[in-house]
Structure 1
Amino acid sequence: MATTYQMDERRVVERRNPETSLEGAGVWLVIPCYKVKALILRVIDKTPPWVEGIVCVDDACPERSGDFIAAEARDPRVVVVRLKQNQGVGGATLAGYAEASRRGGRILVKVDGDDQMDLGYIPQLVAPILLGEADYAKGNRFTSISHLRNMPYVRVLGNAALSFAAKVSTGYWNIFDPTNGYTAIEASVAKQVMQKRVSRRFFFETDLLYHLGTLRAVVRDVPMPARYGEEVSNLRIGGIIGPFALKHARNFFQRVLGQYFVRDFNVATVELIFGALFLLFGVGYAAHWLSIREGNQPASPGRVMAAALPVMIGVQFMLQAINFDVLNVPSRPIHPYLRTIERMEAEVDA
C-alpha cells in the first residue's frame, strides 16, 4: 500500500511554529511552459499569496510564452526564464529549480502551465518537507476511487502499469502514480539532483525518482483527485511504451548494481548471488539433460530433483532479496544534512 501524507495548512503552521506562517517558508512555484499560452495566466492568477516567487520557464515555446507572460502577467512575483532550445519538461523544470534556488527558494513546487493542477493542494504538498519528514513530495491520484472519476480508463490502466514498473526500477515501493507532475522538492536536494543525468523528456518524473533513490532521499505521496480541463497532452502512449520499458530495465539493473554491490554489501547481496547461482544451475542442468537424452527417455526421480531443487531454492533466495528491497525504502530525510553542509561551506567561504 502506498504511503500517503495529507495535512491542512493550519496544522502545518501550528506544528512548524505557531508564530510563523507559510509566507516565510520559502515556497516557490516552477512552471514549465510549452504551448500553454491560453491557460498560463490562469495558473499565475490562482497562485496563493504566500508563495514567494513564480518561475515560468519558456521551453523554446513556438507560441513565445515567455514574451506573452512578461507582457501580460501583472503579478510582481513572476520571473521568466527563456531556454534557447527545447529541453522537454525535465530540462525546463531543472532550469526552473536552478533559478528559484538562486533567488532563495527553499521548497520548489513544480506545476504544469495547463491549469490541470489544483493549486489549493500546495499546503498538503509542502507539509512533509516543512515538517522535516520528507525531501520530495508528489501527488497521488490513486488513493481513492472517487479521485479517479475524471480519469479516462486507458490512463488508469496505463498509470497502474507504469506505477509497478517504477516501484521496481526506483526502489520506492511505498509510492504510486509516478508520472504525476505535481511535485515539491527541498532546494538543497534539488541541487544534488541537478548534478545528475536526469531524463529531460516525458520520463523525467520517473527518472527523477530513480536519482532521488541513489541519494537515499525520502519521498511521500500526497492524495489528490485527477483533474482534466482544456489542456492538450503532447504525450502519445504508443510512442513511449518501448522507450519507457527499456529505461525502466536500465534503471533497475543500475540500481541493483549500485545499491547492493557498489555502495553496500548486505544480506540481499548474498541472496541475489546465491539465488542467481542456484537458478542458473537448475535450469542449466535441466537443459543439458534434455540435450543429451535419447528419444523420449524419461527422467529419473534423481535427475528431476537435481534440476528442480536448485530452482526452488533459487526462487526462495530471490523472494527474500525482493522482501529486503521492499523494506529498504529510505526513511530518514537527507535535506537537514545537506543544509548543514551548505551553511558550513558558506561560513568557510566567508
Structure 2
Amino acid sequence: VLVVDDGSTDETVAIAEALGAIVVRHATNRGYGGALQTIFSTARGMGVEELVIIDADGQHDPGEILRLLSELRAGKDAVFPAAGSASAFGAYGRRAIEAVYQSDVSTGSDILTLVHDHHLKVAGAEREGAQTREPRYRGRRIAVVVPAYNEEELIGEVLDGIPDYVAKVYAVNDGSSDRTGEIIEDYARRDPRVVPIHHSPNRGPGAAVISGYSRALSDGIDVVATMDGDGQMDPQYLSKFLDPIIDGKCDFTLGNRLGSPEYRGRMSKWRFFGNAMLTFLTKIASGYWSMMDPQNGYTAISRRALESIDFKDMYPRYGYLNDRLVRLNIHGFRIQNIAHPAKYGNEKSSIKYGRYIVRVSNLLLRTFLRRLKMKYVILSFHPLVLFYLFGSILSAIGVVGGAITLWEKLVWGYPVLFVHGALSMLAFMMGVMFLSFAMLFDMVAERQGYGWY
C-alpha cells in the first residue's frame, strides 16, 4: 500500500505508517495533480505491474478493488469506474503507468483522455468529451453548493436559476421533513449537473456546506460557490463572485447586501442592531476588518483555499460562516466583498438574533484566540498579541476596580472614591488604549496582505 501525503499537518503520516503503508511525503501541498504525478512515478520506479488508485476521502469503496483488477487482468490497460470525474480512482496496467508517467496530468479526466490518445485498451468509461463537453467558466470548473432545509417551495426556483456554465450543483437536503429531498432527486434525474446529497437527521447548514465542499474537492472543482436554497441569492450575480478569484485578486468572495435599501428597510431595529453587533464581533475574531456582511451565505472559494483551511471540522450550524472566515485569515487568504441585491419572496429567517449572538459569541471568542495563537505566535510573531493580552488584563482590572470602589463608597462608606476610582479609571483607559492599538495593528496586517499562501 502506497500513501502519498500531500503536505498534511495532522497525524495522516503516523497513522499510515503504523498500518504498514509506504508513505511518500510532500513538504508542501501540491494539489491532486501533484499527488498523481508522485503516485505514477513511484509506481514506475518500483516496477509495479498493476496499480489501483483510491482517494482517501471515503468516497470510494475499497471493495471495488478486486473487480477493477479482474477487469484489468482480462486484457485491459486501464479501468475507469466513471467518465468525467476529476478523481483518478481506477486500475492501471504497466502500459498505462508508462504513458501517464511521461505526461503532465492533474485529474482522472486527463488520464482518461491520455490513455485513449495512446490507443490503450480501456474498460468502464468512454473518452470524456466524445459526446458532450462539461461546462466551464473562463476555463475553470465551477460548482455551486446549495444547502436546503424544508425549502420545497423555493428549491426548484434556485436550481432552475443556476447558470449553464456551472459544472456541478451539489444540492444538500439537510434532513428536511417536507418534499425538498424529492424535488432535488427529480432535478438530478433531469439535469446531470445536479448531485443530490442527503443528511438524516438535520445537521445544520454548516454541515451541509462541508458535505458539498468535500464532494467538490473530490471532483476536482476549481472554484466552489455557496448559494442558500431559500431563493434570496440571485444566481445571475454568480460571475461577479467568480471573476476576482479567477483573476487572482483573492481566494474568497463574500456577498454584501447592506448596500441594498430594500434589505435594510426589511430589518427591524432590533435585528439591525443584532446584525451590526455580530458583524463587529466577527471583524475582531476573523481579522477581516473590511468585511461587510459576514452572515451572508452567498460566497465563492478557490480550490487552494479549501485545501488549506481544514474545513471538515467547521462549526456545523449557522456559526460556520464566522468560523470559515477565521480559518481563511489564519492562512492569510485575501477576501473581497461583492455587492448584490437581496431577493425576497416567501422565505422566512429562522435566526433568532438574541439567542444566536449569545451562542455564537462563545464560538467567536474561541476562534479569535485560535487565530492569534496560530497566525501571530506559531506561524509567525506579531506584538499585537501582547497588546491584546495587556489590554484585556488592564481593562478587566479597571472594571473590577471600579466596581469595588463603588461598593466601598456606597455600602461601606469609605472615602476612597477619588483615589481608588482614579486608579481604576487609569487602568481601564490604558487597557482600552492597548486594545485599540492591537486592533489597529491587526487592520494594518490585513491591508499589507499578511499571509503566506
1:3 corresponding residue in structure 2: none
Structure-2 change in CA distance of 1:47 and 1:212 (3 Å)? same
- Inter-partner Cα distance in structure 2 for 1:153 and 1:261: 40
Match of 2:137 in 1: 22
RMSD of the TM alignment (CA)?
3.3
What residue number does 2:341 align with?
Answer: 225
**CA apart distance, 1:34:** 1.6
1:318 corresponds to 2:424: no
Specify the SS of the correspondent of 1:24.
coil
Judged with a 3 Å threshold, the aligned counterparts in structure 2 of structure 1 residues 143 and 333 are, in CA distance, closer, same or farther, namely: farther
Equivalent residue for 2:150, pick from 28, 35, 52: 35
Q: Is 1:107 aligned with 2:186?
A: no
Query: How does 1:184-223 map onto structure 2 within 5 Å?
Result: 184-195=300-311, 197-223=313-339
Query: Who is 2:184 aligned against?
Result: 69
Counterpart code for 1:224: H
Which structure is higher in RCO with an 8 Å CA cutoff and minimum separation 6?
1
Larger radius of gyration: 2
Extract unaligned runs of 5+ from structure 1: 1-20, 338-350
- Which deviates more, 258-267 or 73-82? 258-267
1:142 and 1:256 map into 2 onto residues whose CA distance is 29
- Identify which range, 38-47 or 117-126, moves more after superposition: 38-47
Q: Distance in 2 between matches of 1:290 and 1:77?
A: 67
Aligned to 1:53: 168
Further displaced range: 178-187 or 49-58:
49-58
Partner SS for 2:232? coil
Deviation digits for residues 47-69 of structure 1, max 9, x if unmatched?
A: 11111121111222223533332
Q: 1:273 offset after TM fit, Å?
A: 4.8
Q: How far did residue 88 of structure 1 move?
A: 0.9
SS at 1:56 equivalent: strand
Contact preservation (8 Å) 2:145, 2:226? yes
Would you say the 8 A contact 1:61–1:86 is kept in 2? Answer: yes
In the alignment, which of 385, 400, 412 is matched to residue 269 of structure 1?
A: 385
Find the aligned partners of 1:42 and 1:149 in 2 and give their Cα distance: 25
Match of 2:370 in 1: 254
2:245 to 103, 125, 129: 129
Q: How far is the alpha carbon of 1:305 from its aligned partner?
A: 7.1
Q: Deviations 1:191-240 (Å, cap 9, x if unpaired)?
A: 33344531111112112112222222211110112221122333333432
Q: How far did 1:118 drift?
A: 0.4
- Three-state SS of the structure 1 residue aligned to 2:186 is helix
The question of whether the paired residues in 1 share the 8 Å contact of 2:210 and 2:314 is answered with no
- Percent same amino acid at aligned positions? 31
What SS does structure 1 have at the residue aligned with 2:253?
A: strand
User: Unpaired runs of 5+ in structure 2?
Assistant: 1-135
C-alpha change, 1:127 and 1:152, in structure 2 (3 Å) is farther
State the 1:168 CA deviation: 1.3
Aligned to 1:18: none
Query: What CA distance in whole angstroms lies between the structure 2 residues aligned with 1:68 and 1:146?
Result: 30
TM-score (norm 2): 0.61
Measured in 2, the distance between the counterparts of 1:288 and 1:157 equals 31
1:110-163 per-position Cα deviation (integer Å, ceiling 9, x unaligned):
111122210011011111111111111110011354653455554433322211
SS in structure 1 of the partner of residue 313 of structure 2: coil
Structure 1 runs (4+) greater than 6 angstroms displaced: 280-294, 303-307
Counterpart pick for 1:175 among 291, 315, 321: 291
State the alpha-carbon separation in 1 of the partners of residues 275 and 399 from structure 2: 35
Q: Say if 1:307 and 1:60 are closer, same or farther in 2 by CA, change over 3 A.
A: closer
Q: Name the structure 1 match of 2:3.
A: none
Q: Is the 8 Å Cα contact of residues 216 and 330 (structure 1) preserved in structure 2?
A: no
Matched, 1:165 2:315: no
Residues 244 and 312 of structure 1, relative CA distance in 2, 3 Å threshold: closer
**1:95 maps to amino acid:** S
How far 1:28 moved relative to its partner?
Answer: 0.9
How many angstroms does 1:104 deviate by? 2.2
Q: Is the 8 A contact 1:138 1:220 kept in 2?
A: yes
In the alignment, what sits opposite 2:208? 92
**Do 1:29 and 1:108's aligned partners in 2 also have CA atoms closer than 8 Å?**
yes
Retained in 1: the 8 A contact 2:149–2:175?
yes
Give, in whole Å, the separation in 2 of the partners of 1:273 and 1:157.
28
